[in-house]
Every structure is written in C-alpha cells, then in structure tokens.
Amino acid sequence: MKFESKVILVTGSSRGIGASLARGFAREGGTVVVNYLQNKTAAEDVVSSCIDLGGDSWAIQADVTSEQAVIEMVDEIILETGKIDVVVNNAFKPFVFDPDQRKLAWQLTWEDYQGQINGAVRSTHNVCQAVIPGMKKQSQGSIINMVSNLVERPIIPYPEYTTAKSALVGYSKNLAAELGSFGIRVNCVAPGLVYPTDASRYTKEEVKEMIISQTPLRRLASPSDIEGPVLFLASKWSKFMTGQTLYVDGGLVMK
C-alpha cells in the first residue's frame, strides 16, 4: 500500500489525528500537503517528520471555511505538483468533549449548530468543489471525510457536533453517487473517542473508563489507530468502495 507519486492533502493536519494521518501517508512515500489554520510551528514540525519518514511534504496556511482561501490553496498545490490524488477532510471547528461543560439540547442556539455545520460541512464542501475538476480530468481520486461514531451511537450527547457530522455523512453519500462515474470515490471514517488529542483532553477518567468498558477491544483509540483505515480508503485496495462509513472505535458501534 504505497503512495509514491501520489499527492495527498490533509486539512487540519498540524496536530492530533490529522498530523498522524499526514505522517502515515509520508511513511508510505506520499507527497503530503499539511494544511493548518494558525499554528505554523506545529505544521512545520509535522512537515519535518513527514520528510524524515520518507515522504515529501510542505505546509499551507488556509482557512477551509473560506471558499477563496481554499481555491488559492488548491491552485498552489496544482501549480507545484500538477495534481491532487487524495483529500482527507479532517479540519473541523474546535470542539471540547467535556460531558460536564457541554451545552444541553435545550441550551443550544442555532448559532451553535451553524458554527459546527460550517466547520464540518461547509469546509468539506469548499475543498471538494475545488479539487473535483482536477480529479475529473484524471478520472480518479479519493476523498475521505472524517466524521464520528457519535452519528450512530451518541453515547454522550453533543448535539451540535453530532448533527454537523451526521450532515457530513449525508453529504458524502450524495457526492459518492454523483462522482462515481468519474472514477472519484468518497468515503467516511468515523472514529470513537481518540486520546490524546486537544479535543479529548478534558474528558474525565470516569467517562473514558465507561467508554472502555463498553468497547469490545477494551481501550480508546490513539491517533495512530485511525491511520490504517484512512490509508486503506485512499488506496487501490479499496478501489470498489464508495459511499461507505468505516467505524474505527474498537467495536463500540457494530454495523
């Protein structure tokens, strides 16, 4: 499962799951574009580690909720490499998984929902719209959208976050149906609670233990656990898969 000669864009990849995915593609020889919003130093550290692992890499700052910023980012990648083979839409509006501090359903405003929808669906839409023309010309491409197992089993309700991710699943299925005839595949990966990440740092031990106790593999996911499923969906090994959601949560959700 090598990615030599492949160009991969991973949005929101200066830390956490995104950084781990960038390194995973680099380890397999890919050219990885590390997209970030604010932390240039962290993004450059990921780039350095990608190069050390045998891939090629560089960082591009872009707010993926901005259509113009995404167009400029994609144009830069095409100018530099001539193509984009794989996109992983990993960026999302910051969210903290803290059961004690979360807003309850009746406390949420529409603005709370809209912020998460913009972070999940609007950003993905901007990136997809920018890369689809090039992928159509190539008659191939793989788009992987990061969602959450909460869309299937909200073991702790985070309504605004889960609603946005559910919308992203629907968006992805429709995109898969529309783009299949052009050789472009669209799939989702749905992790459970991933630790350690910035989003999960405030998740209390008793909550983690509760999730672990209901997980057949009896542990939480680490960022590196998400690499394999994403690389699989990006590779030729999954060439006849599209419109699917892979749950990567140790069996907490079984589909």
Residue 99: the pLDDT is 85
34 has pLDDT over 70: yes
Cβ–Cβ under 8 Å, residues 164 and 113: yes
Q: Which helix (H) or strand (E) holds 248?
A: strand 245-248
Residues 6+ apart with CB under 8 A from 230: 21, 24, 88, 144, 189
Q: Where are the alpha helices (DSSP H) in 87-182?
A: 110-117, 123-138, 159-179
Question: How many Å apart are CA 29 and CA 1, to the nearest integer?
Answer: 10
Percent of the chain with pLDDT strictly greater than 70:
100
Give the C-alpha separation, 81 to 86, whole Å.
13
E-strand stretches of 12-140: 31-36, 56-61, 86-89
239 sits in the region (left: phi over 0; alpha: psi -120 to 50; else beta) called alpha
pLDDT at 198 over 80: no
Asked whether the predicted pLDDT for residue 61 surpasses 80, the reply is yes
Check residue 255 and give its pLDDT.
84
pLDDT of residue 1: 57
**Number of Cβ atoms within 10 Å of the Cβ of 170:** 11
Q: Which of 207, 216, 227 is nearest to 249 (CA)?
A: 216
Question: pTM for this one?
Answer: 0.95
Residue by residue, what is the 3-state secondary structure of 181-193?
Answer: HHCEEEEEEEECC
Residue 200 has pLDDT above 80, yes or no: no
Across residues 172-195, what is the average pLDDT? 97
pLDDT in tens, 225-249: 999 999 999 999 999 999 999 999 9
Average pLDDT of the segment spanning 141-150: 97
- List, by residue number, the catalytic residues: 161
Q: Could you tell me the domains of the chain? A: 7-248 (3.40.50.720)
Alpha carbon distance 239, 224 (integer Å): 23
Between CA 128 and CA 227 the distance in angstroms is 21
